[in-house]
Every structure is written in C-alpha cells, then in structure tokens.
Amino acid sequence: MRKSLSSQEEQARFLKLHTENTPLWMSALPEGGQYLTRGGESEIYLAPDYRHVIKVNDAVYYATWAEYFNSLVIHNLLFPSTAYELLGFTAGKDEALCAVLRQPFIEGGQADLANIRELLTFNGFQNTRRQDYFNEEFGLLLEDMHDENVIAKDDVLFFIDTVFYLLEAQ
C-alpha cells in the first residue's frame, strides 16, 4: 500500500521532484511580463499578451497542495470566465514551491459588497462572517470575497481571487 502525502511540505517535495526535469518546471516566468502587485498568496504580473495575468502562488492559505488544487478546480467550475490555467511550478522566495498560473485579465472596478453577497446568496451560499460564505449543499467554504477579489464590469461580477475549502456539510 502506498503512503499518502499528507503535509504540504511532503507534497511540495513530491511535486518538485516530479516536475523539475519536465516542461512543467519553470526556471523563469514568461519573458516580457510586468510586475503588478503582491497579494496574500500571489505575486501578480501582467502577461506579455496584455490579456492575462500570471500569478505565482505559494498556496500559503492551504494545509496541502491537494487542497489548493481542489480550490482551483472548484473556481474553474464555478467561474469559467476567470478560470485559472496551471502553467507549471517554480521556486519562490526561500526556494518554496510556487504554482505558476495564468488567468484572464479583467479591467473594471471594485465590486460592491452587497452585490457579491446577493449573487452568492442566490447561488446557495450563506454569509458566515465578514466576507466568508458557506454552501451547505456542496460543503464549500468560500473565503475572502471582499471588493478587491471581485471585479465589476458592465454589471457583471468577475471572481478573480477565490479561496475554496471542501468541508463536511453541516
């Protein structure tokens, strides 16, 4: 029986070992990208095509890389207009493993918190505290849905920075 990789550090070692000598390992970011900002878990660059952003994410909000990948899949299922594309992996600060993602660049303004709440409530999420939501039917916790993580453009909300956790339905 194969032992499961339970910690983020173990999973990071596994991912690095199995991607270092493949096209998934990126020793450098795509040439021509322009640094924009740093968020809680990502450094963000404008991609050379000016239509995407490149996010270098250290998965610091997750206990395991598997949990992080689950969050990406859920985001892509629920918000396909801002879907993440995994480009590969790289070494970040202190040689920590980072995922390199590409996402559509959306120009717009900060979303109104009331509009975020209304849309999420309509879709089965209940506000639990501040900008965190829970969908009991699917056991999904969605955190950090403040106005900088959701962009409003032409009365449409674009979720650009989501943090999902799979929980047991209560």
52 closest CA partner among 28, 93, 76, 81? 81
Q: What is the DSSP string of 84-98?
A: -EEEEEEE-GGG-EE
Kindly tell me if the per-residue pLDDT of 138 is higher than 50. Answer: yes
> At residue 46, what is the residue type?
L
Looking at per-residue confidence, does 4 or 72 come out higher?
72
Residue type, 161: D
Q: Is there a contact between 136 and 170 (Cβ–Cβ < 8 Å)?
A: yes
The predicted structure's pLDDT at residue 1: 41
The 10s digit of each residue's pLDDT in 99-112 is 999 999 999 999 99
> Are 100 and 87 spatial neighbours (Cβ–Cβ below 8 Å)?
yes
To the question of pTM greater than 0.85 for the whole model, the response is yes
Give the largest CA-CA distance in the chain: 53
**Model pLDDT for residues 82-101, shown as the tens digit of each residue:** 999 999 999 988 889 999 99
> Do 81 and 104 touch, CB atoms closer than 8 A?
yes
Rounded Cα distance, 115 and 119, in Å: 6
If we measure between CA atoms, which residue out of 159, 7, 12, 6 comes closest to residue 99? Answer: 12
Q: What is the spatial distance between Cα 159 and Cα 106, in angstroms, rounded to a whole number?
A: 10
Considering only CA atoms, give the Rg of the chain. 17
* d(C-alpha 82, C-alpha 9), whole Å: 28
| Position 6 pLDDT exceeds 80 | no
What's the rounded Cα separation, in Å, for the pair 131 and 121?
Answer: 12
CA 125 vs CA 61, 82, 135, 146: distances in Å = 21, 19, 4, 15
